[in-house]
Amino acid sequence: MLKPQPTATRELVSLDGIWNFALGSHDDKIDIACTQPLSPELQVPVPASYNDIFVDPKIRDHVGWVYYQRAVRVPRGWHGEKYFIRVDAATHHGRVFVNSNFVTEHSGGYTPFEADITHLVAAGEEFCLTIAVSNVLTMDTIPPGRVETLANGKRKQQYQHDFYNYAGLARSVWLYCVPQVYIRDVTVVTDLADTSGTTGIVEYQVITSETLPHARIRVSLFDEEGHIVAQSSGPQNRLQVESAHLWQPGAAYLYQLQIELLHDDSCDKVLDIYTIPTGIRSIKVSGMQFLLNGTPFYFTGFGKHEDSAIRGKGYDPAYMVHDFQLMKWLGANSFRTSHYPYAEEVLEYADRHGIVVIDETAAVGLNLAIVAGIHGTKAPPTFSPETINDKTQDAHKQALKELIARDKNHPCVVLWMIANEPASGEEGAIKYFEPLVKLTRELDPSRPICFANMAFNPVNRDLISDMFDVLCLNRYFGWYKHTGDLDMAEEALHDELSGWQRKFDKPIIITEYGADSLAGLHAVMDVPWSEEYQSRMLEMCHRVHDRVEAVIGEHVWNFADFQTTSQIFRVDGNKKGVFTRDRKPKAAARVLRERWNKAY
Ligand code: BDP
């Protein structure tokens, strides 16, 4: 799915800003009256989650639909074009209305959707745009959840993941136009032709709104100086680039792949034009190594969250650039989009600056044993008709399709993570994951795949790791296990990682390791929650990572403290950040800076 882009043939209007806002009723019904002009009494910024904007628990804890509304004018110059409303994210369900006419709906809170509204409004006209957004999670959604009705009649959203269920229009909304005949989709896959790594391959496939003769699709690859280095025609082909500049971690080089649809009687007349920033690089998993451009790559960095005070999960370019600066300061070369696809702007920035990304779906919480473990209750089976079932699996398939459709052309994305900490030791996991693995490989045969395994499913209990290319392990030795005893933790971590290496002979990335720490709490001894203990725990893990050959990466959990749902074992959120929520470094930052700034 192409991100809207202003080009010589396309225009784009941002609908970000202040929108009118209303709360829906306390059920799952859409209130059609809310698509009539709303009073401006409540107004919200877009993009932002709405929860922490107001000081009203009724809004923060609302379960169901809310309504966003604003007036929009279609530019008068768009006569004869096709125009679309595009919503970058509506968490978790969105319904779009143009002057009360229902236009489209979408489930999945972290991927975009759009609708052609050309037939509904004429160029030059103003219309009332309403977007209804529901935050409800059920066993049919990804991530899954359950709405509980309390004794006092109040509805409460339950879910199995640790981060707060922020909702709303957390990313941009656009009105954009394309010509009548237009480029619908482009897929770009790159590789290196030889082991010496000098000849780059760029394979492309273009889908147009109507079938065109070969000669009418022209594709040109420009280097960073603006020179054409390869050219071709037709909807699919393979370009070869001699002495290619490679996209390298920390040293990105971006070519521009320009696609043009030409008029039938003159090649000088361009009907549509679209450009894809293209990094030439190869990815391969070989034995226990992860090869980027033929060279073993060691991942250093973080599992992150899109999370900040007030705006919740709202995209904020200032926070984004600052986070990248902090990662660079530490010597981090990569991060994981835990636990959902991030705003596309984040991937564009990573492409431009050579930061490697593990791209994750929102399939988090597919494990009923974790919550049961916390409350000391007996866990129901995770995979059953009443719990994670065929409908969840359908939603998961859709989430994979949308993730790959959106992110397939980003050179920074080197690995698809299809789920976080599922119940991979329960029998139902095989039947659940087999079709998902197959689908992911069909959708993108060019990238390896993984899931994040959790501690309840060690090597002798996990049933699905053989289906994946890279083993990703989330491990909290020294925190949830052997708390305060780093000697025991070190031995146990080493034993466990050695076991995985012996059984699979595959590369291992430690996709989560870390400890909570309260900024400002200091201790001489190994006192959990102190800044020193967090640092010493990370150092302990690093000693083990260095001793196990298969370990090819480490992502600390988490980059920054983040908001969680109200729980007694969280104090104003999860405090495993190496930075506080407002991005002040804790002592652990020094440990990482020292370690990661030496070359890997
Ligand atoms: C892991 C989860 C992550 C949590 C983390 C923690 O993958 O989402 O936030 O534990 O407990 O199991 O801090």
Q: Spell out the domain ranges in the chain.
A: 11-178, 183-283, 304-332+477-490+502-534+553-599, 335-469
Residue of 496, 367, 341 whose CA lies nearest to 422 = 367
Residue 515 exposed, middle or buried by CB count within 10 Å (0-12, 13-18, 19+)? buried
Query: What is the topology classification, in CATH, of domain 335-469?
Result: TIM Barrel (3.20.20)
pLDDT for position 370: 84
Number of CB atoms found within 10 A of residue 363's CB:
27
What residues have CB less than 8 Å from 210, skipping those under 6 apart? 181
Strands of 289-292's sheet in order across: 283-286, 289-292, 295-296
Convert the pLDDT of each residue in 576-594 to its tens digit. 999 999 999 999 999 999 9
Q: Biggest alpha carbon distance in the chain?
A: 80
**The pLDDT of residue 529 is above 90:** yes
Cβ(440) – ligand 1 distance below 6 Å: no
Give 572's Cβ-side CA count (13 Å radius). 8
pLDDT for position 323: 98
Written as six digits, the tokens of 312 are 């919740």
pLDDT for position 599: 61
**The pLDDT of residue 351 is above 90:** yes
Number of CB atoms found within 10 A of residue 522's CB:
12
**The pLDDT of residue 377 is above 90:** no
Written as six digits, the tokens of 487 are 């000697």
Q: Which CATH number is correct for 304-332+477-490+502-534+553-599, 1.10.3720.10, 3.40.50.2300, 3.20.20.80, 2.60.120.680? A: 3.20.20.80
Query: Mean pLDDT, to the nearest integer, of 343-362?
Result: 98
Query: Mean pLDDT, to the nearest integer, of 91-118?
Result: 97
d(CA 151, CA 178): 52
pLDDT-derived band at 34 (thresholds 50, 70, 90) equals confident
Centroid of ligand 1 to alpha carbon of 162 (angstroms): 6
Cβ(421) – ligand 1 distance below 6 Å: yes
**The pLDDT of residue 550 is above 60:** yes
Convert the pLDDT of each residue in 482-519 to its tens digit. 999 999 999 999 999 999 999 999 999 999 999 999 99
CA dihedral 101, 102, 103, 107 (to 10 degrees): 160
Q: Compute φ and ψ for 376, nearest 5 degrees.
A: 70, 25
Quick check: do 304-332+477-490+502-534+553-599 and 335-469 share a fold?
yes
Query: Mean pLDDT, to the nearest integer, of 426-430?
Result: 96
Catalytic (active site) residue 512: yes
What is the gyration radius of the CA atoms in the chain, in angstroms?
24
- More confident: 133 or 375: 133
Centroid of ligand 1 to alpha carbon of 280 (angstroms): 34
pLDDT for position 123: 98
pTM: 0.97
Mean pLDDT, rounded, of the chain: 96
What is the number of the ligand 1 atom nearest to the C-alpha of 338? Answer: 8
pLDDT-derived band at 235 (thresholds 50, 70, 90) equals very high
Domain at 183-283: CATH code: 2.60.40.10
Place of tokens 């991942």: 299
**The pLDDT of residue 121 is above 60:** yes
Convert the pLDDT of each residue in 157-194 to its tens digit. 999 999 999 999 999 999 999 999 999 999 999 999 97
Centroid of ligand 1 to alpha carbon of 512 (angstroms): 8
**Side chain identity at 106, as an amino acid letter?**
H
Domain at 11-178: CATH code: 2.60.120.260
pLDDT for position 160: 93
Helices (H) and strands (E) in the chain, counts: 9, 30
User: What 3 state SS string does 32-68 have?
Assistant: HHHHCCCCCCCEEEECCCCCCCCCCHHHHCCCCEEEE
At 556 the three-state DSSP class reads strand
**The pLDDT of residue 267 is above 70:** no
Cβ(307) – ligand 1 distance below 6 Å: no
